[in-house]
Structure 1
Amino acid sequence: MANHFVQDLRAIARGLSDDPAEWPYIPCPTCKRSGLTVVADSLVMEEASQSKAWHGREDWDPEFIYGAFRCVMRCYKETCDLVWVTGRTSVYQQNMRDGYQDLLHPLFFMPELPLIQSYGDCPEKIQWAIEAASPILWVDPSSAANRIRAAVEVLMDHEKIPKNDARGRVIPLHQRIEQFKRDKPEFSNVSDLLMAVKWTGNAGSHGDVIRVPDVLDVVEIIDRTIQELYDTSAVKIEQKAEEIVARKGLPASQIAQLRVPPA
Protein backbone atom coordinates (compact mmCIF):
# COMPACT_ATOMS: atom_id res chain seq x y z
CA MET A 1 0.00 0.00 0.00
CA ALA A 2 1.38 3.40 -0.97
CA ASN A 3 2.21 5.82 1.81
CA HIS A 4 0.09 8.80 0.80
CA PHE A 5 1.55 10.95 3.57
CA VAL A 6 5.00 10.61 1.99
CA GLN A 7 3.59 11.72 -1.35
CA ASP A 8 2.12 14.79 0.34
CA LEU A 9 5.41 15.56 2.11
CA ARG A 10 7.31 15.27 -1.17
CA ALA A 11 5.02 17.92 -2.66
CA ILE A 12 5.70 20.20 0.34
CA ALA A 13 9.45 19.64 -0.04
CA ARG A 14 9.33 21.02 -3.58
CA GLY A 15 8.22 24.38 -2.13
CA LEU A 16 4.91 26.16 -1.62
CA SER A 17 3.32 28.96 -3.61
CA ASP A 18 2.72 32.32 -1.97
CA ASP A 19 -0.97 31.61 -2.67
CA PRO A 20 -2.23 29.11 -0.03
CA ALA A 21 -5.04 28.09 -2.39
CA GLU A 22 -2.37 26.38 -4.49
CA TRP A 23 -0.77 24.46 -1.61
CA PRO A 24 -0.75 20.66 -1.76
CA TYR A 25 -2.61 18.47 0.70
CA ILE A 26 -1.04 18.85 4.16
CA PRO A 27 -2.15 16.10 6.60
CA CYS A 28 -3.51 17.04 10.01
CA PRO A 29 -1.14 15.80 12.77
CA THR A 30 -4.01 15.45 15.24
CA CYS A 31 -6.57 13.30 13.44
CA LYS A 32 -4.38 12.08 10.53
CA ARG A 33 -7.52 11.94 8.40
CA SER A 34 -8.11 15.45 7.14
CA GLY A 35 -6.10 18.14 5.39
CA LEU A 36 -5.06 21.52 6.80
CA THR A 37 -5.96 24.93 5.43
CA VAL A 38 -4.30 28.28 6.14
CA VAL A 39 -6.18 30.50 8.59
CA ALA A 40 -7.33 33.64 6.78
CA ASP A 41 -4.83 36.53 6.88
CA SER A 42 -2.34 34.52 8.97
CA LEU A 43 0.27 34.18 6.21
CA VAL A 44 3.02 36.75 6.74
CA MET A 45 6.12 37.09 4.53
CA GLU A 46 9.08 39.36 5.33
CA GLU A 47 12.19 40.01 3.26
CA ALA A 48 15.45 39.72 5.20
CA SER A 49 17.39 42.93 5.93
CA GLN A 50 20.48 41.65 4.10
CA SER A 51 18.31 40.82 1.09
CA LYS A 52 16.96 44.37 1.08
CA ALA A 53 20.49 45.78 1.24
CA TRP A 54 21.49 43.83 -1.87
CA HIS A 55 18.96 45.71 -4.00
CA GLY A 56 21.53 48.47 -4.48
CA ARG A 57 24.14 46.21 -6.07
CA GLU A 58 24.85 46.59 -9.78
CA ASP A 59 24.65 42.84 -10.31
CA TRP A 60 21.40 42.55 -8.33
CA ASP A 61 18.92 39.99 -9.58
CA PRO A 62 15.43 39.19 -8.22
CA GLU A 63 16.62 35.68 -7.40
CA PHE A 64 18.85 37.25 -4.72
CA ILE A 65 15.72 37.97 -2.68
CA TYR A 66 15.15 35.82 0.40
CA GLY A 67 13.32 36.07 3.69
CA ALA A 68 11.00 34.23 6.05
CA PHE A 69 7.31 33.41 6.41
CA ARG A 70 4.91 32.20 9.04
CA CYS A 71 1.26 31.15 9.12
CA VAL A 72 -1.31 29.19 11.10
CA MET A 73 -3.17 26.20 9.69
CA ARG A 74 -6.30 24.48 10.91
CA CYS A 75 -8.17 21.25 10.31
CA TYR A 76 -11.87 21.39 9.56
CA LYS A 77 -12.42 19.41 12.77
CA GLU A 78 -12.67 21.94 15.59
CA THR A 79 -11.22 19.47 18.11
CA CYS A 80 -7.90 19.24 16.23
CA ASP A 81 -4.94 21.40 17.22
CA LEU A 82 -3.90 24.45 15.24
CA VAL A 83 -0.63 23.96 13.37
CA TRP A 84 1.99 26.72 13.35
CA VAL A 85 4.29 26.86 10.34
CA THR A 86 7.45 28.87 9.76
CA GLY A 87 10.17 28.75 7.14
CA ARG A 88 12.21 30.67 4.60
CA THR A 89 11.30 32.25 1.28
CA SER A 90 13.09 32.56 -2.02
CA VAL A 91 12.34 33.86 -5.49
CA TYR A 92 12.60 31.82 -8.66
CA GLN A 93 11.76 32.14 -12.33
CA GLN A 94 10.03 29.08 -13.73
CA ASN A 95 9.87 30.48 -17.26
CA MET A 96 10.09 33.80 -19.09
CA ARG A 97 6.33 34.01 -19.56
CA ASP A 98 5.36 33.83 -15.86
CA GLY A 99 8.20 35.97 -14.54
CA TYR A 100 9.53 35.72 -10.99
CA GLN A 101 7.54 34.00 -8.24
CA ASP A 102 7.89 33.61 -4.47
CA LEU A 103 8.56 30.12 -3.15
CA LEU A 104 8.01 29.12 0.48
CA HIS A 105 10.16 26.44 2.13
CA PRO A 106 8.73 25.21 5.48
CA LEU A 107 11.27 24.45 8.19
CA PHE A 108 9.06 23.82 11.22
CA PHE A 109 5.53 22.53 11.72
CA MET A 110 4.23 22.59 15.30
CA PRO A 111 2.83 20.10 16.03
CA GLU A 112 4.92 18.19 13.50
CA LEU A 113 3.36 16.45 10.52
CA PRO A 114 2.87 12.67 10.69
CA LEU A 115 5.10 10.41 8.60
CA ILE A 116 2.95 7.28 8.52
CA GLN A 117 -0.83 7.17 8.46
CA SER A 118 -1.39 3.86 10.24
CA TYR A 119 0.98 1.69 12.24
CA GLY A 120 -1.46 -1.19 12.68
CA ASP A 121 -0.31 -3.33 15.61
CA CYS A 122 3.24 -1.95 15.53
CA PRO A 123 4.67 -1.54 19.06
CA GLU A 124 4.47 2.02 20.35
CA LYS A 125 8.21 2.29 21.03
CA ILE A 126 8.91 1.72 17.34
CA GLN A 127 6.25 4.25 16.36
CA TRP A 128 7.72 6.89 18.65
CA ALA A 129 11.22 6.24 17.32
CA ILE A 130 10.08 6.75 13.72
CA GLU A 131 8.01 9.85 14.43
CA ALA A 132 10.98 11.37 16.29
CA ALA A 133 12.36 12.16 12.83
CA SER A 134 9.43 14.40 11.91
CA PRO A 135 10.25 17.53 14.00
CA ILE A 136 13.67 17.89 12.34
CA LEU A 137 12.84 16.54 8.88
CA TRP A 138 12.79 19.94 7.15
CA VAL A 139 15.59 21.70 9.00
CA ASP A 140 18.07 18.82 9.39
CA PRO A 141 17.23 15.86 7.13
CA SER A 142 20.58 14.16 7.83
CA SER A 143 19.73 13.92 11.52
CA ALA A 144 16.19 12.83 10.63
CA ALA A 145 17.61 9.94 8.60
CA ASN A 146 19.76 8.98 11.57
CA ARG A 147 16.72 8.96 13.85
CA ILE A 148 14.93 6.55 11.55
CA ARG A 149 18.06 4.38 11.62
CA ALA A 150 17.75 4.46 15.43
CA ALA A 151 14.17 3.21 15.00
CA VAL A 152 15.61 0.09 13.35
CA GLU A 153 17.67 -0.48 16.53
CA VAL A 154 14.44 -0.27 18.54
CA LEU A 155 12.81 -2.73 16.15
CA MET A 156 15.72 -5.14 16.62
CA ASP A 157 15.30 -4.80 20.40
CA HIS A 158 11.61 -5.70 20.10
CA GLU A 159 12.44 -8.70 17.95
CA LYS A 160 14.84 -9.91 20.68
CA ILE A 161 17.96 -9.54 18.53
CA PRO A 162 20.92 -9.14 20.97
CA LYS A 163 22.48 -5.69 21.15
CA ASN A 164 25.59 -6.84 23.06
CA ASP A 165 27.87 -9.83 22.58
CA ALA A 166 29.12 -12.23 25.26
CA ARG A 167 31.77 -9.70 26.34
CA GLY A 168 29.24 -6.88 26.64
CA ARG A 169 30.41 -5.11 23.51
CA VAL A 170 27.79 -3.34 21.38
CA ILE A 171 26.86 -5.33 18.28
CA PRO A 172 26.71 -3.12 15.14
CA LEU A 173 23.28 -2.69 13.59
CA HIS A 174 24.50 -4.30 10.38
CA GLN A 175 25.24 -7.53 12.23
CA ARG A 176 21.95 -7.37 14.15
CA ILE A 177 20.00 -7.15 10.89
CA GLU A 178 21.95 -10.12 9.51
CA GLN A 179 21.14 -12.05 12.70
CA PHE A 180 17.46 -11.15 12.30
CA LYS A 181 17.60 -12.57 8.77
CA ARG A 182 19.10 -15.83 10.05
CA ASP A 183 16.63 -16.11 12.94
CA LYS A 184 13.59 -15.29 10.83
CA PRO A 185 14.24 -16.34 7.24
CA GLU A 186 10.54 -15.90 6.46
CA PHE A 187 11.21 -12.15 6.75
CA SER A 188 14.39 -12.09 4.68
CA ASN A 189 12.86 -9.38 2.45
CA VAL A 190 12.32 -7.24 5.55
CA SER A 191 15.99 -7.61 6.47
CA ASP A 192 17.00 -6.29 3.06
CA LEU A 193 14.69 -3.30 3.48
CA LEU A 194 16.06 -2.51 6.93
CA MET A 195 19.59 -2.65 5.59
CA ALA A 196 18.71 0.15 3.16
CA VAL A 197 17.45 2.26 6.08
CA LYS A 198 20.67 1.56 7.96
CA TRP A 199 22.88 2.69 5.07
CA THR A 200 20.95 5.95 4.63
CA GLY A 201 21.18 6.64 8.36
CA ASN A 202 24.91 6.01 8.23
CA ALA A 203 25.27 8.50 5.39
CA GLY A 204 23.40 11.06 7.47
CA SER A 205 25.95 10.63 10.25
CA HIS A 206 28.87 11.56 8.01
CA GLY A 207 27.94 15.06 6.97
CA ASP A 208 25.21 17.18 5.42
CA VAL A 209 24.59 14.87 2.46
CA ILE A 210 21.00 13.75 3.01
CA ARG A 211 18.04 15.73 1.66
CA VAL A 212 14.34 15.58 2.55
CA PRO A 213 13.47 13.31 -0.43
CA ASP A 214 16.13 10.85 0.76
CA VAL A 215 14.54 10.71 4.21
CA LEU A 216 11.11 10.19 2.68
CA ASP A 217 12.53 7.25 0.73
CA VAL A 218 13.51 5.48 3.95
CA VAL A 219 10.18 6.40 5.55
CA GLU A 220 8.47 4.51 2.74
CA ILE A 221 10.84 1.60 3.23
CA ILE A 222 10.35 1.33 6.98
CA ASP A 223 6.60 1.75 6.49
CA ARG A 224 6.73 -1.32 4.27
CA THR A 225 8.63 -3.29 6.92
CA ILE A 226 5.98 -2.41 9.51
CA GLN A 227 3.26 -3.70 7.21
CA GLU A 228 5.19 -6.94 6.72
CA LEU A 229 5.87 -7.49 10.43
CA TYR A 230 2.93 -6.01 12.32
CA ASP A 231 -0.04 -5.30 10.05
CA THR A 232 -2.66 -7.94 10.86
CA SER A 233 -5.51 -6.32 8.90
CA ALA A 234 -5.26 -8.85 6.04
CA VAL A 235 -5.49 -11.75 8.50
CA LYS A 236 -8.51 -10.19 10.22
CA ILE A 237 -10.27 -9.71 6.87
CA GLU A 238 -9.61 -13.35 5.94
CA GLN A 239 -11.01 -14.44 9.31
CA LYS A 240 -14.16 -12.40 8.69
CA ALA A 241 -14.56 -14.02 5.29
CA GLU A 242 -14.22 -17.50 6.82
CA GLU A 243 -16.85 -16.66 9.45
CA ILE A 244 -19.28 -15.41 6.79
CA VAL A 245 -18.79 -18.59 4.75
CA ALA A 246 -19.37 -20.71 7.87
CA ARG A 247 -22.61 -18.82 8.55
CA LYS A 248 -23.57 -19.10 4.87
CA GLY A 249 -24.03 -15.34 4.76
CA LEU A 250 -26.47 -15.10 7.68
CA PRO A 251 -25.81 -12.21 10.13
CA ALA A 252 -24.01 -13.27 13.30
CA SER A 253 -26.87 -11.90 15.43
CA GLN A 254 -29.37 -14.16 13.63
CA ILE A 255 -27.15 -17.20 14.11
CA ALA A 256 -26.99 -16.43 17.84
CA GLN A 257 -30.79 -16.27 18.03
CA LEU A 258 -31.11 -19.59 16.26
CA ARG A 259 -28.85 -21.20 18.85
CA VAL A 260 -30.92 -20.00 21.81
CA PRO A 261 -32.80 -23.03 23.23
CA PRO A 262 -36.59 -22.66 23.45
CA ALA A 263 -37.99 -21.62 26.81
Structure 2
Amino acid sequence: MTGTSTDVPEEMLDQSLEWFEYLQPESMLPPPPIISTERVPRPVRVELEKSFGLYWNDTGACASRMRTSLERLMDHFKIPTTTTTARDRSGKKYRKRLDLASRIDKFAAKVKWNQYSQMLHALRVVGNIGTHGNKAVTKTDMLDAYKLYEHALANMFEEKNESITEIIKRLYGMK
Protein backbone atom coordinates (compact mmCIF):
# COMPACT_ATOMS: atom_id res chain seq x y z
CA MET A 1 0.00 0.00 0.00
CA THR A 2 1.21 3.49 -0.80
CA GLY A 3 -0.28 6.83 0.06
CA THR A 4 0.09 9.99 2.05
CA SER A 5 -0.35 10.99 5.66
CA THR A 6 -1.47 14.23 7.22
CA ASP A 7 -1.01 15.42 10.80
CA VAL A 8 -4.08 17.27 12.03
CA PRO A 9 -4.54 19.03 15.39
CA GLU A 10 -7.80 18.24 17.17
CA GLU A 11 -9.17 19.96 20.24
CA MET A 12 -9.83 17.63 23.14
CA LEU A 13 -12.58 17.95 25.76
CA ASP A 14 -10.20 19.75 28.13
CA GLN A 15 -9.42 22.33 25.35
CA SER A 16 -5.92 20.93 24.83
CA LEU A 17 -4.70 20.14 21.32
CA GLU A 18 -3.67 16.68 20.33
CA TRP A 19 -2.16 15.76 16.97
CA PHE A 20 -3.53 12.81 14.97
CA GLU A 21 -2.08 11.24 11.86
CA TYR A 22 -4.57 10.44 9.08
CA LEU A 23 -3.56 8.08 6.32
CA GLN A 24 -4.91 8.40 2.76
CA PRO A 25 -4.25 5.31 0.59
CA GLU A 26 -3.44 6.00 -3.06
CA SER A 27 -2.81 2.47 -4.27
CA MET A 28 -3.00 -1.10 -3.03
CA LEU A 29 -1.67 -4.22 -4.65
CA PRO A 30 -3.52 -6.50 -4.63
CA PRO A 31 -6.53 -4.27 -4.07
CA PRO A 32 -8.99 -5.39 -1.42
CA PRO A 33 -12.41 -6.37 -2.71
CA ILE A 34 -14.91 -3.57 -2.16
CA ILE A 35 -17.92 -5.82 -2.78
CA SER A 36 -18.38 -9.57 -2.93
CA THR A 37 -17.77 -11.10 -6.35
CA GLU A 38 -17.71 -14.79 -5.41
CA ARG A 39 -20.69 -15.94 -7.48
CA VAL A 40 -20.26 -13.43 -10.29
CA PRO A 41 -19.25 -14.71 -13.76
CA ARG A 42 -15.51 -14.44 -14.37
CA PRO A 43 -15.58 -11.71 -17.10
CA VAL A 44 -17.72 -9.48 -14.85
CA ARG A 45 -15.52 -10.23 -11.83
CA VAL A 46 -12.28 -9.43 -13.72
CA GLU A 47 -13.52 -5.95 -14.64
CA LEU A 48 -14.84 -5.31 -11.13
CA GLU A 49 -11.52 -6.34 -9.58
CA LYS A 50 -9.71 -3.92 -11.90
CA SER A 51 -12.08 -1.19 -10.72
CA PHE A 52 -11.21 -1.97 -7.07
CA GLY A 53 -7.56 -1.16 -7.76
CA LEU A 54 -8.44 2.16 -9.41
CA TYR A 55 -10.76 3.25 -6.59
CA TRP A 56 -7.85 4.57 -4.51
CA ASN A 57 -6.33 6.96 -7.04
CA ASP A 58 -8.59 7.46 -10.09
CA THR A 59 -12.32 7.27 -9.43
CA GLY A 60 -13.11 8.23 -13.04
CA ALA A 61 -11.21 5.21 -14.35
CA CYS A 62 -12.74 3.14 -11.54
CA ALA A 63 -16.25 4.10 -12.70
CA SER A 64 -15.29 3.34 -16.29
CA ARG A 65 -14.14 -0.20 -15.35
CA MET A 66 -17.36 -0.73 -13.43
CA ARG A 67 -19.24 0.30 -16.58
CA THR A 68 -17.23 -2.24 -18.59
CA SER A 69 -18.29 -4.90 -16.07
CA LEU A 70 -21.92 -3.99 -16.87
CA GLU A 71 -21.17 -4.71 -20.55
CA ARG A 72 -19.73 -8.10 -19.53
CA LEU A 73 -22.85 -8.72 -17.43
CA MET A 74 -25.03 -8.10 -20.49
CA ASP A 75 -22.76 -10.47 -22.48
CA HIS A 76 -23.23 -13.14 -19.79
CA PHE A 77 -27.01 -12.96 -20.18
CA LYS A 78 -26.60 -13.06 -23.99
CA ILE A 79 -28.08 -9.62 -24.55
CA PRO A 80 -27.24 -8.74 -28.16
CA THR A 81 -24.72 -6.02 -29.01
CA THR A 82 -26.36 -5.19 -32.34
CA THR A 83 -29.81 -5.05 -33.91
CA THR A 84 -31.03 -5.35 -37.47
CA THR A 85 -34.22 -3.38 -36.92
CA ALA A 86 -32.55 -0.12 -37.93
CA ARG A 87 -33.36 1.19 -41.41
CA ASP A 88 -31.49 3.58 -43.67
CA ARG A 89 -33.16 6.35 -45.72
CA SER A 90 -34.13 3.91 -48.46
CA GLY A 91 -35.85 1.64 -45.91
CA LYS A 92 -33.22 -1.08 -46.11
CA LYS A 93 -32.39 -2.84 -42.82
CA TYR A 94 -28.85 -2.64 -41.51
CA ARG A 95 -26.96 -3.86 -38.46
CA LYS A 96 -26.71 -1.17 -35.80
CA ARG A 97 -24.63 -1.31 -32.61
CA LEU A 98 -26.68 -1.19 -29.40
CA ASP A 99 -25.46 1.12 -26.67
CA LEU A 100 -25.38 -0.04 -23.06
CA ALA A 101 -28.66 1.73 -22.25
CA SER A 102 -30.46 -0.26 -24.95
CA ARG A 103 -28.87 -3.50 -23.78
CA ILE A 104 -29.98 -2.85 -20.20
CA ASP A 105 -33.53 -2.23 -21.42
CA LYS A 106 -33.47 -5.52 -23.34
CA PHE A 107 -32.12 -7.32 -20.26
CA ALA A 108 -34.86 -5.91 -18.01
CA ALA A 109 -37.49 -6.96 -20.54
CA LYS A 110 -35.94 -10.44 -20.76
CA VAL A 111 -35.97 -11.05 -17.00
CA LYS A 112 -39.24 -9.15 -16.53
CA TRP A 113 -38.06 -7.20 -13.50
CA ASN A 114 -38.07 -3.42 -13.90
CA GLN A 115 -36.03 -2.82 -10.75
CA TYR A 116 -32.95 -4.21 -12.53
CA SER A 117 -33.43 -1.59 -15.21
CA GLN A 118 -33.40 1.23 -12.65
CA MET A 119 -30.37 -0.15 -10.78
CA LEU A 120 -28.30 -0.89 -13.86
CA HIS A 121 -29.14 2.43 -15.53
CA ALA A 122 -28.01 4.26 -12.38
CA LEU A 123 -24.70 2.36 -12.54
CA ARG A 124 -24.42 3.13 -16.26
CA VAL A 125 -24.78 6.86 -15.53
CA VAL A 126 -21.93 6.74 -12.98
CA GLY A 127 -19.82 4.77 -15.46
CA ASN A 128 -20.56 7.26 -18.25
CA ILE A 129 -19.56 10.19 -16.06
CA GLY A 130 -16.30 8.42 -15.21
CA THR A 131 -15.68 7.45 -18.84
CA HIS A 132 -16.46 10.79 -20.42
CA GLY A 133 -15.25 13.02 -17.59
CA ASN A 134 -18.24 15.37 -17.62
CA LYS A 135 -17.76 15.89 -13.89
CA ALA A 136 -15.86 14.25 -11.07
CA VAL A 137 -16.93 10.91 -9.63
CA THR A 138 -16.21 10.94 -5.90
CA LYS A 139 -15.23 8.02 -3.73
CA THR A 140 -18.61 8.36 -2.01
CA ASP A 141 -20.32 8.09 -5.43
CA MET A 142 -18.34 4.93 -6.14
CA LEU A 143 -19.17 3.37 -2.77
CA ASP A 144 -22.86 4.05 -3.41
CA ALA A 145 -22.53 2.53 -6.88
CA TYR A 146 -20.75 -0.54 -5.51
CA LYS A 147 -23.45 -1.01 -2.86
CA LEU A 148 -26.15 -0.86 -5.54
CA TYR A 149 -24.22 -3.19 -7.86
CA GLU A 150 -23.63 -5.70 -5.08
CA HIS A 151 -27.37 -5.76 -4.35
CA ALA A 152 -28.21 -6.33 -8.02
CA LEU A 153 -25.56 -9.05 -8.43
CA ALA A 154 -26.68 -10.84 -5.26
CA ASN A 155 -30.22 -10.99 -6.63
CA MET A 156 -29.00 -12.29 -9.98
CA PHE A 157 -26.51 -14.89 -8.80
CA GLU A 158 -27.33 -15.96 -5.25
CA GLU A 159 -27.83 -19.61 -4.57
CA LYS A 160 -31.54 -20.30 -4.61
CA ASN A 161 -31.39 -24.01 -3.88
CA GLU A 162 -33.24 -23.62 -0.63
CA SER A 163 -36.36 -21.55 -0.20
CA ILE A 164 -36.76 -19.20 2.74
CA THR A 165 -39.81 -21.25 3.76
CA GLU A 166 -37.68 -24.41 4.00
CA ILE A 167 -35.11 -22.63 6.16
CA ILE A 168 -37.83 -21.28 8.49
CA LYS A 169 -39.36 -24.77 8.87
CA ARG A 170 -35.95 -26.24 9.66
CA LEU A 171 -35.22 -23.56 12.26
CA TYR A 172 -38.61 -24.03 13.92
CA GLY A 173 -37.85 -27.74 14.05
CA MET A 174 -34.95 -26.99 16.43
CA LYS A 175 -37.38 -26.51 19.39
2: CA distance, partners of 1:213 / 1:239: 33
Q: Secondary structure at the match of 1:237?
A: coil
Structure 1 residue 143: deviation in Å? Answer: 0.8
Two-structure CA RMSD over aligned residues (Å): 2.4
Does 1:98 find its partner at 2:17? yes
Q: 1:189 to 1:240 in 2, by over 3 A?
A: closer
Q: Is the 8 A contact 2:116 2:152 kept in 1?
A: yes
Q: Is the 8 A contact 1:119 1:231 kept in 2?
A: no
What corresponds to 1:236 in structure 2?
161
Does 1:169 find its partner at 2:88? no
What corresponds to 1:54 in structure 2?
none
Structure 2 portions without partners, runs of 5+: 85-93
Matches for 1:194-213 after TM superposition, within 5 Å: 194-207=120-133, 209-213=136-140
Instruction: Give the alignment's TM-score, normalised by structure 1.
Output: 0.54
Does 1:88 find its partner at 2:8? no
1:178-227 CA distance string (max 9 Å, x none) = 11122221x22112100110001111123260111211111111111111
2: CA distance, partners of 1:210 / 1:111: 23
Which protein has the larger Cα radius of gyration, Structure 1 or Structure 2?
A: 1
Identity %: 24
Q: Is the 8 A contact 1:145 1:215 kept in 2?
A: yes
Matches for 1:60-209 after TM superposition, within 5 Å: 85-95=1-11, 97-120=16-39, 122-166=40-84, 167-185=94-112, 187-207=113-133, 209=136
Q: Secondary structure at the match of 1:104?
A: strand
Q: Secondary structure at the match of 1:110?
A: coil
Q: 1:226 to 1:98 in 2, by over 3 A?
A: same
Q: 1:178 to 1:97 in 2, by over 3 A?
A: farther
Q: Is the 8 A contact 1:119 1:226 kept in 2?
A: no
Amino acid paired to 1:152:
L
Structure 1 residue 152: deviation in Å? Answer: 0.6
Q: Is the 8 A contact 1:129 1:151 kept in 2?
A: yes
Bigger RCO of structures 1 and 2 (CA < 8 A, at least 6 apart) = 2
